[in-house]
Amino acid sequence: MIRVLLADDQKLVRTGFDMILSLEDDIAVAGQACDGAQAIELARSEHPDVILMDVQMPGVDGIEATRVIVDEHLAKVIMVTTFDRDDYVFEALGAGASGFILKNADPDELVSAVRAVARGDALLSPQVTLRVIRAMAAPGARTQPPADAPGEPAPQAPLQRAAAGPAHIPELTDRETDVLRAIARGLSNAEIAAELFVSEATVKTHVSNLLAKLGLRDRVQAVAWAFRHGLAE
């Protein structure tokens, strides 16, 4: 059973998410929070697996609450917002969020996001995925979100993208390189396992190893890394 905490300052939104998730046999709503401070408190007491976290809330906002929750290893966080803005996306990822979806997402997309993050995958809404990857992969792109307030320019370090993908990454084994290429194509662990004729558990091991070797936090960063180094187009 996946235990989910709902954090949003709008009761109507929380109620809607509760109704959608409660229809699923493998998901249970562990509680509701009206702001970031309450989300942190409930995360510590209720031990949810996943938190659906609104970005803009009074007092402690969703970004700051996510930093605390991730730092304390209390739960995995999916940021939910009505605003399709780059600064929110980068700040959420930098705070340690495992997913980012918009409030106008289909119910099936919401449920799929919860399940994906609960099993250890990172997820972005289809509406923002391609733009974020392009922004992170482009020469001169920042690899971390701005530390300053939204709207203020953040220092950018130039990143050079390889002209052509290498046949082998020195840090990785050949199979780990194959898995990285598949991640960059958007394949799930199950799809990678079927393509490479290995078990899904083996794929998960390869994913964990390549993330550790390359110093990456999650699959989103892995995709950006692959784009920057010419492993994906």
Q: Give the pLDDT band of residue 84 (cuts 50, 70, 90).
A: low
Residue 148 has pLDDT above 90, yes or no: no
At residue 187, the pLDDT reads: 80
Note whether 100 and 71 are within 8 A (CB). no
At residue 205, the pLDDT reads: 94
- CATH 1.10.10.10 positions along the chain are 174-228
| DSSP-derived pairing of the beta strands 99-102 and 2-7 | unpaired
Mean pLDDT of 65-76: 94
Residue 75 has pLDDT above 60, yes or no: yes
Question: Distance (Å, rounded) from C-alpha 63 to C-alpha 76?
Answer: 13
At residue 78, the pLDDT reads: 93
Note whether 187 and 195 are within 8 A (CB). yes
pLDDT digits over 183-206, tens only?
888 788 888 999 999 999 999 999
At residue 129, the pLDDT reads: 59
Indicate the CATH number of 2-130 among 3.30.420.40, 1.10.260.40, 3.40.190.10, 3.40.50.2300.
3.40.50.2300
Best mean pLDDT range from 20-29, 121-130, 167-176: 20-29
Give the chain's mean pLDDT.
81
pLDDT digits over 46-57, tens only?
999 999 999 999
CB-neighbour burial class of residue 26 (10 A; exposed 0-12, middle 13-18, buried 19+): exposed
pLDDT digits over 88-121, tens only?
777 877 788 888 888 888 899 899 999 988 987 7
Dihedrals φ, ψ of 139, to 5°? -55, 135
Residue 152 has pLDDT above 70, yes or no: no
At residue 103, the pLDDT reads: 85
Who has greater pLDDT, 62 or 170?
A: 62
CATH architecture of 174-228: Orthogonal Bundle (1.10)
Q: Give the pLDDT band of residue 132 (cuts 50, 70, 90).
A: low
- CATH 3.40.50.2300 positions along the chain are 2-130
At residue 144, the pLDDT reads: 45
Q: Give the pLDDT band of residue 39 (cuts 50, 70, 90).
A: very high
With CA atoms as reference, report the closest residue to 78 among 210, 226, 220.
220
Q: Tell me, what amino acid is at 217?
A: R
